[in-house]
């Protein structure tokens, strides 16, 4: 009798299923890699290039065309200029067609004229350099409309300039620059403070809120909806509200504290050094406690009721039930939430950017990307900071997936 042997490898059905799966995934993979993977590679590329904001517009020749002079002296004048002050442009050419009514008398030495078509080969243009071409002409009609006509047909220019983005000049200047001095470690410290305390705070406050709403009563749905408001509202709206509420000169919070006699003089909540960082962390807790509250509540409501009944039979008090039953059950979701929120908070940009703009000791790594790239106009340095963030993210996600595998099923 032959033994039954299970089939090895993928059968035709399994292969067809896999093909269908990849077919269904293909659009997603394509678009996500186009918009996520390509920019990530680009970030690595840019981070080792000496590139500023101004280099995004590659150097090009700029021209002005005029009809000048009268009679013998009548001439079409082209004034060329290199738009860049640092980079030379090579192989500059200019081509234009003169309006009807103008005949060329004497072209510039660098130009060839055929009928009304003008072509000039100008060679190289130094950084910040200029060229002037004059073509003497005679006019058959009045010169003013002819001048307008001449200016109406802009000349075409060509020229090659090295593009910093695509050439092979590399530098570690960006990384040296961001790691130089104590600034980087200060920024990293602020980021870690913000991420650690923002995450823990949001978890603790969320846990408290979830415990509150774990009982069912009338109006529970309304309260749950209300408590989610900070998370649902647009960040820009709530951030500006906080800024106005805590304004040092005309904010309601300061007015309230002054009236109540809590403080003698107005407090600059978002402008003083240690306080601003605490305030943005509090904002983070305020804005994201609803999220952890939601997740914790969902997990709480799925804890089987009979465990609590058994505990009741054994005479456990409410705090004991919380400490010995609920908390161990919630530990899984709490650890996953902690890591997830930690990563997100670490990556958070909008909140701090809107509240303080990264001033008063609240500059985190993400705000630093923006500062370097747009405020200092050094895109390369911004990209270098982004690379550092990405490296941190990879590190965290390794830890995250380890924990997630342990808590599999969550």
Partner 1 sequence: MTLLRNGYVTGAVLGALWTFTMAVMVAVAMSFVTGDAFRPSLLLSLGLGALAGGASIHGRAIAMGAAGVLAALGLLGAGPVQTAETGPLAAVMAHVALAAATGAGLVKILVGARAGPLTRHEFEAAVICFLTGFGYVFFTAIVAIPFYVMVMTSLKNQQQLVQNPLDFSLDLSRGWGLFDSYVELMTTFNFGSYLWTSFFVSILTVALTLAFSIPGAYAVARLRFRGAAVFSRSILLIYMVPMIVLALPIYIGYSMVGLRNSILGIVLIYPVTTIPVALYMLQGYFRGLPAEVEEAGLMDGLSRLQVIWKITLPLSLPALASVSLYVFMIAWNEFLLAFMLLDDPSKFTLTRGIASLNSSEIPRQHLMAGSVIATVPIMAIFLGLERFMTRGLTAGSVKG
Applying the rule CB under 8 A, the residues between 214 and 253 that interact with partner 1 are: 221, 223-230, 232-238, 240-242, 244-245, 247, 250-252
**What is the rounded distance in angstroms from the CA atom of residue 330 to the CA atom of residue 215?**
17
Q: Binding to partner 1 by residue 281, rule CB under 8 A?
A: no
Nearer to partner 1, 186 or 225 (CB): 225
Site for partner 1, residues 19 to 38, rule: CB under 8 A: 20-22, 24-25, 27-28, 31-32, 34-36, 38
Q: Considering the complex, state which of residue 119 and residue 175 has its C-beta at the smaller distance from partner 1.
A: 175
Among 12, 71, 261, 328, binds partner 1 (CB under 8 A): 261
Among residues 281, 356, 366, 378, the one that binds partner 1 under rule CB under 8 A:
366
Tell me the three-class secondary structure of 79-101, residue by residue.
EEEECCCCCCEEEEEEEEECCCC
Query: What span, in angstroms and rounded, lies between the C-alpha atoms of 206 and 231?
Result: 12
Site for partner 1 in 321-340 (CB under 8 A): 333, 336, 340
Our finding on whether 169 is near partner 1 (CB under 8 A) is no
Considering the complex, what minimum distance in angstroms separates the CB of residue 408 from partner 1?
10
Dist CA 195 CA 347 (whole Å): 9
**Whole-number Å distance between alpha carbons of 346 and 193:** 9
Measured CA to CA, the distance from residue 79 to residue 301 in angstroms comes to: 77
- Scored b (16 or more CB within 10 A) or e, 293-305 reads bbbbbebbeeeee
Of 55 and 65, which has the nearer Cβ to partner 1?
Answer: 55
Q: Is 369 in the site for partner 1 (CB under 8 A)?
A: yes
Among 208, 263, 309, 324, binds partner 1 (CB under 8 A): 208
* 3-class SS shares of the chain: helix, strand, coil, % to 5: 55, 15, 30
Total number of residues that touch partner 1 (CB under 8 A): 97
Cα separation, 287 vs 285, whole angstroms:
5
User: What region, left, alpha or beta, does residue 66 occupy, with left being phi > 0 and alpha being psi -120 to 50 degrees?
Assistant: beta
Q: Which of 1, 5, 260, 313 binds partner 1 (CB under 8 A)?
A: 260
Distance of closest approach, residue 85 Cβ to partner 1, in angstroms: 20
Ranges within 386-405 binding partner 1 (CB under 8 A): 386, 389-390, 393, 397, 401
b/e 45-59 (16+ beta carbons within 10 angstroms → b)? ebbbbbbeeebeebb
Query: CA-to-CA distance for 49 and 172, rounded, in angstroms?
Result: 8
Rg (CA), the chain: 34
Record the tokens describing residue 326, joined without a space: 């609920």
Closest CB 1 distance from partner 1, rounded Å? 32
- Beta carbon of residue 223, minimum distance to partner 1 (angstroms, whole number): 8
304 lies in the site for partner 1, by CB under 8 A? no
Residue 173, classified by CB atoms within 10 Å of its CB into exposed (0-12), middle (13-18) or buried (19+), is middle
183-212 and 273-300 are packed helices; what angle lies between their axes, rounded to 10 degrees?
40
Work out which of 89, 92, 98, 291 binds partner 1, going by CB under 8 A. Answer: 291
Of the two residues 32 and 117, which places its CB atom closer to partner 1 in the complex? 32
User: 143 vs 372, which CB is nearer to partner 1?
Assistant: 372
Nearer to partner 1, 153 or 317 (CB): 317
Residues 65-84 that bind partner 1 (CB under 8 A): none
- Minimum CB separation of residue 205 from partner 1 in Å reads 8
| Contacting residue, 118, 146, 343, 355, with partner 1 by CB under 8 A | 343
Using CB under 8 A, which residues numbered 112 to 141 contact partner 1? none
Q: Give me the DSSP letters along 321-354.
A: HIIIIIHHHHHHHHHHHHHHHHHHHHT--HHHHH
Distance CA 156, CA 60 (A): 12
Which one of residues 39, 91, 128, 189 is an interface residue with partner 1 (CB under 8 A)? 39
* Contact assessment for residue 89 and residue 160, using Cβ atoms and an 8 Å cutoff: yes
Is 301 an interacting residue with respect to partner 1 (CB under 8 A)?
A: yes
d(CA 176, CA 202): 36
Which residue stretch of 59-67, 69-77, 114-122, 364-372 sits at the interface with partner 1 (rule: CB under 8 A)?
A: 364-372
Q: How far is the CB of 64 from partner 1 (least distance, A)?
A: 24
Binding of partner 1 by 14 (CB under 8 A): yes
Instruction: Answer yes or no whether residue 161 interacts with partner 1 by CB under 8 A.
Output: no
């Amino acid at each position: 009798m032959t033994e039954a042997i299970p089939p090895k490898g993928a059968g035709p059905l399994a292969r067809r299923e896999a093909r269908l799966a990849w077919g269904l995934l293909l659009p997603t993979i394509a678009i996500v890699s186009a918009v996520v993977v390509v920019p990530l590679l680009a970030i690595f590329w840019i981070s080792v290039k000496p590139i500023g904001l101004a280099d995004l517009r590659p150097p090009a020749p700029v021209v002005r065309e005029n009809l000048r002079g009268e009679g013998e002296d009548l001439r079409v004048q082209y004034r060329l200029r290199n738009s860049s002050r640092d980079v030379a442009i090579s192989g500059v050419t200019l081509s234009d067609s003169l309006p009807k009514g103008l005949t060329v008398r004497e072209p510039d030495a660098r130009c060839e004229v055929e009928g009304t078509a003008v072509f000039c080969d100008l060679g190289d243009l130094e950084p910040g350099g200029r060229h002037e071409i004059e073509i003497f002409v005679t006019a058959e009609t009045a010169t003013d409309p002819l001048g307008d006509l001449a200016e109406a047909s802009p000349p075409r220019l060509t020229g090659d300039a090295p593009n910093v983005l695509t050439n092979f000049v590399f530098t570690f200047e960006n990384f040296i620059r961001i790691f130089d001095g104590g600034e980087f470690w200060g920024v990293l410290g602020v980021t870690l403070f913000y991420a650690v305390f923002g995450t823990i705070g949001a978890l603790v406050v969320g846990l408290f809120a979830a415990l509150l709403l774990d009982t069912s009563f009338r109006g529970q749905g309304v309260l749950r909806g209300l408590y989610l408001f900070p998370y649902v509202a647009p960040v820009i709206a709530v951030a500006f509200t906080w800024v106005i509420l805590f304004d040092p000169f005309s904010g309601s919070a300061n007015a309230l504290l002054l009236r109540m006699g809590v403080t003698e003089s107005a407090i600059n909540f978002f402008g003083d050094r240690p306080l601003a960082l605490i305030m943005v962390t509090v904002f983070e807790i305020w804005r994201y406690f609803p999220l952890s509250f939601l997740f914790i509540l969902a997990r709480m409501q799925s804890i089987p009721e009979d465990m609590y009944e058994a505990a009741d039979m054994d005479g456990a008090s409410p705090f004991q039930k919380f400490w010995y039953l609920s908390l161990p059950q919630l530990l899984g979701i709490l650890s996953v939430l902690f890591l997830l929120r930690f990563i997100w908070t670490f990556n958070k940009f909008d909140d701090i950017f809107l509240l303080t703009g990264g001033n008063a000791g609240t500059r985190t790594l993400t705000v630093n990307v923006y500062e370097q790239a747009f405020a200092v106009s050094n895109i390369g340095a911004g990209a270098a900071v982004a690379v550092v963030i990405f490296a941190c993210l990879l590190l965290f996600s390794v830890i995250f997936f380890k924990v997630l595998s342990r808590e599999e099923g969550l």
